[in-house]
Structure 1
Amino acid sequence: MNRTLVIKATSGEDAPERCNQAFTVAAAAAASGVEVSLWLTGEAAWYAVPGRAESFSLPHAAPLSDLLQGVLAAGRVTVCTQCAARRDLAEGDLIEGVRIAGAPAFVEEALREGAQALVY
């Protein structure tokens, strides 16, 4: 059975260590061959916009843009539908390969057999 890691990032610059932890775990899992689905909610939704991850800075942390690219290369990145709407973001505003989806898709992924969900 293949394991899937579903990670929900709920913060951005408002809680940089928590935000970075979500991206770091997602990228590490993707690099290890684990199927990864990273959900960007709340302030983390901004990091799906081109150039925004590059502006994130946290001492002693890998660049957020590198972590995000690692996840995109081997996994899936999703922005919450409501979070995107509250920020006036449409799929055309996002980095290529990032999708917008809602709670039903998150629940489906999180409850899939072999899935482990983490929320940061």
Structure 2
Amino acid sequence: MSRSLVIKVTAGEDAPERCNQAFTVAAAALASGVDVSLWLTGEATWFAVPGRAETFELPHAAPLADLLASVLAAGRVTVCTQCAARRELGQDDLIDGVRIAGAPTFVEESIREGAQALVY
């Protein structure tokens, strides 16, 4: 059975350490060969917009843009449907490879056999 990790990050620049931790865990899991699905919700939604991750700074942390790029290259990145709508963001506003999906998709991924879900 293959293990997978579903990570939902609800914080953005409003809680930088919590936000960065979610991206760091996602990248580390991918580097370990784990299937990763990273969900951007709440203020983290903004990091799906081109150029936004590059502006994030946290001392002694890997650049958020690099962490996001590694997840996009080897895993999945999803923006919450409602979170995107509240910020007036559509698919064309997001980085290539980021999808928009809702709660049913999150639940489906989270309860799959072998899945572990984390929320930051």
Range into which the TM-score falls when normalised by the shorter chain? over 0.9
2:5 equivalent to 1:29: no
Unmatched segments (≥5 aa) in structure 2? none
**Matches of residues 24-103 of structure 1 in structure 2 within 5 Å?**
24-103=24-103
Q: What's the offset of the Cα at 1:31?
A: 1.4
Q: CA deviation at 1:32?
A: 1.4
In structure 1, how many angstroms separate the alpha carbons of the residues matched to 2:104 and 2:21?
25
Amino acid at match of 2:13: E
Question: 1:63, 1:48 → 2: CA distance?
Answer: 15
| 1:33 CA drift (Å) | 1.1
SS of the residue aligned with 1:13?
A: coil
Aligned AA (2:116): Q
- The corresponding residue for 1:117 is 117
- The sequence identity of aligned pairs, in percent, is 82
Deviations 1:55-82 (A, max 9, x none): 0000000000000000011100000000
Aligned-CA RMSD value = 0.4
Measured against aligned partners, the alpha-carbon deviations of 1:5-35 in whole angstroms (never above 9, x if no partner) come to 0000000010000000000000111111110
Q: Match of 1:105?
A: 105
Q: Work out the CA distance in 1 between the residues paired with 2:51 and 2:20.
A: 16
Q: Runs of 4 or more off by more than 6 Å in structure 1?
A: none
How much does 1:90 deviate? Answer: 0.5
Equivalent pairs, count: 120
The TM-score normalised by the length of structure 2 is 0.99
Distance in structure 1 (CA, Å) of the matches to 2:22 and 2:113:
22
Structure 1: how far apart are the matches of 2:19 and 2:80? 15
Structure 1, unpaired ranges of 5+ = none
Q: Per-residue deviation at 1:88? A: 0.5
